Amino acid sequence: MHIAIIMDGNGRWASQRGLPRTAGHRAGAKAVDKIVEAAARSGIDTLSLYAFSADNWHRPRAEVGALFTLLRRYLLTETKRCVEKSIRINVVGRRDRLAPPVLRTIEHSERSTAHCTGMNLRIAVDYSAQHSLLESCRLMAAEGRVDRARFKEHLAAIDHSATVPANVDLLIRTGGEKRLSDFLLWECAYAELYFVDSFWPDFDGNAFALALEEYGKRERRYGNIRVSEQHIARAGHG
């Protein structure tokens, strides 16, 4: 099972408390710890977290700086714990615009956890699905043929993803907005969408369990008719 999360609402969480937005991001980083743990415990194969979108570069310099400081701190402190829990870290997105120390930290975390066979923890940084799709198209065009499997290989390479794109089963967005904000557009083709009003720093193991429970109630049809109706149709009563 592949769960993707758009971790939104840090800024509003902070301003509700009269705190600067960066305090919200710090609280958000703590929520990441809890959810990674909850996901690993629930036996989730892949958890993709949207940490920084390509459009987030438009934010004030100080906020961008704070976000990258938090990302580095997270990777530096959590890598060891991920090794212990056999969680493989993979940072997906562009790398050509990252500061060298950030890049080095990412590479260190990925190398240190490359052998881990438990949950895949994918952290999207400087990520834009439209950018990745366009770049993959560019590579396909250069090869002169269009092939789905090859396209997915290109997409993985562009995203620095350790695996070819896996369909998202459940996409969670906190913070009340109901949009995808350029996250995993290809992978979410048949994703179940789950929007929750609570801000990301307040999203805890309980809230995560509720999302899983709701997912369990959804019937995924992939364009087909309901499973119960398939039986009827096969028996010739349809």
Q: Footprint of ligand IPE on this chain (CB under 6 A)?
A: 6-12, 50-53, 56, 67, 175, 177, 179, 181
Q: What residue number has its CB nearest to ligand IPE? A: 11
* Residue 10 interaction partner, one of ligand IPE, Mg ion, none, beta carbon < 5-8 Å per kind: ligand IPE
Residue 194: its H or E element:
strand 192-195
Show the tokens assigned to 182. Answer: 């350029």
Give the CA angle between residues 214, 50, 87 to the nearest 5°: 80
- Residues with Cβ < 8 Å from 124, sequence gap 6 or more? 48, 49, 50, 51, 52, 53, 91, 92, 93, 183, 184
- Count the site residues for Mg ion by CB under 5 A: 1
Secondary structure of residue 84 in the 3-state scheme: helix
Active-site hit among 8, 126, 159, 169: 8
* Residue 50 interaction partner, one of ligand IPE, Mg ion, none, beta carbon < 5-8 Å per kind: ligand IPE
To ligand IPE, the closest distance from the beta carbon of 12 in angstroms equals: 3
| CA pair distance 152, 133, nearest whole angstrom | 10
Q: The tokens 């048949």 sit on which residue?
A: 190
Show the tokens assigned to 3. Answer: 């769960």
Closer residue to ligand IPE in complex, CB, 163/181: 181
Show the tokens assigned to 59. Answer: 């934010």
- Whether 147 is a known active-site residue: answer no
To ligand IPE, the closest distance from the beta carbon of 150 in angstroms equals: 29
To ligand IPE, the closest distance from the beta carbon of 115 in angstroms equals: 28
CB environment 82-101: b (16+ within 10 A), e (fewer):
bbebebbbbbbbbeeebeee
Taking Cα atoms as reference points, which of 64, 67, 69 lies closest to residue 25? 67
Closer residue to ligand IPE in complex, CB, 82/172: 172
| CA pair distance 53, 160, nearest whole angstrom | 15
To Mg ion, the closest distance from the beta carbon of 63 in angstroms equals: 11
| CA pair distance 169, 47, nearest whole angstrom | 10
Active-site hit among 10, 45, 56, 206: 56
* Residue 7 interaction partner, one of ligand IPE, Mg ion, none, beta carbon < 5-8 Å per kind: ligand IPE
- Whether 96 is a known active-site residue: answer no
Positions in 1-40 near Mg ion (CB under 5 A): 8
Closer residue to Mg ion in complex, CB, 63/135: 63
Distances (CA, A) of 9 to 31, 75, 193, 227: 12, 22, 17, 38
* Residue 17 interaction partner, one of ligand IPE, Mg ion, none, beta carbon < 5-8 Å per kind: none
* Residue 33 interaction partner, one of Mg ion, ligand IPE, none, beta carbon < 5-8 Å per kind: none
To ligand IPE, the closest distance from the beta carbon of 225 in angstroms equals: 35
Active-site residue set: 8, 56
Binding residues vs Mg ion (CB under 5 A): 8
